[in-house]
Amino acid sequence: MRDKIIVDKMLRYASKVCKYCQDTSYEEFQANDMLLEACVFNLSQIGELTAKLNDNFKKQYPQVPWAQIYGLRNRIVHDYEGVNLRLLWEIISEDMPDLQRTLNDINDE
């Protein structure tokens, strides 16, 4: 039950990032400090929550890149100034919709 609550929180953060960036270009993303900071915050929260999930739960859902999600959190938290904006944009535009769908599927089980 605890893991499902954590996944629900992760889903809310992922949904925010997707919503904030819909109909946005990379150029708009990198030029908008408020949008950038909101996305960075939400991505770091998603990563932080992965560490709270039970290891057996994570093994149950190998389709989710748990280690990479936490790794992104570490890069954001420990090297904010050096975060590659192009990489963040690719994660947001390409990976977040898939993550959102997968977390939704996990939540629906």
Q: How many domains does the chain have?
A: 1
Using 50, 70 and 90 to split pLDDT, how confident is the model at 81? low
* pLDDT beyond 60 at 68: yes
Catalytic site includes residue 101: no
Rounded to an integer, what distance in angstroms lies between the CA atom of residue 41 and that of residue 13?
A: 9
Catalytic site includes residue 73: yes
pTM for this model (two decimals): 0.90
Q: Which domain holds residue 63?
A: 2-108
Q: How many CA atoms lie within 13 A of 14 on its CB side?
A: 25
**Of 2, 12, 78, 101, catalytic:** 78
